[in-house]
Amino acid sequence: MSKSDRLNLSILETRVLWAISRQPLHGYALLKHLNSGRKREITNGTLYPILQKLLKEKTIKIKKTGNREKKVYEISKSGKAILKDACNEICATFQSIFNDFVCKTCGSRLKGKG
């Protein structure tokens, strides 16, 4: 996967990678984590296609655990590099947004670097 392809992750795909990078999670725990504090819930129908995509791209891997061989998702070495690139892109995007941010209530501007 080229660097330009790495930057084409959606915000949700980036959140999934980020959560799995913190600790390996099974699908239900990941869904619970992603839905924590959200008004609109992410469903199985949204999450599992993302996990399949990330598995196909080898950014995550599966480790089966326990008697029932529960699937636990872990980030791969290439997934860590992809996550780093995606996080850098998100930070740059938000920095440019907030550099131009003006509060509609009080007119204050956020002061960015520069």
Residues with Cβ < 8 Å from 89, sequence gap 6 or more? 7
Quick one: DSSP state of residue 109? B
Q: Domain spanning 3-99: which CATH class is it, in words?
A: mainly alpha
State residue 110's pLDDT score. Answer: 61
State residue 3's pLDDT score. Answer: 47
Calculated CA dihedral for residues 23, 26, 31, 36, nearest 10 degrees: -40
> If 0-12 CB within 10 Å is exposed, 13-18 middle and 19+ buried, where does residue 17 land?
buried
d(CA 49, CA 19): 16
Q: What does each of the 114 residues of the chain score in pLDDT, given as a tens digit?
A: 444 444 468 889 999 999 999 999 999 999 999 999 888 889 999 999 999 999 999 999 999 877 888 899 999 999 999 999 888 888 888 777 777 667 676 677 666 554
d(CA 84, CA 100): 25
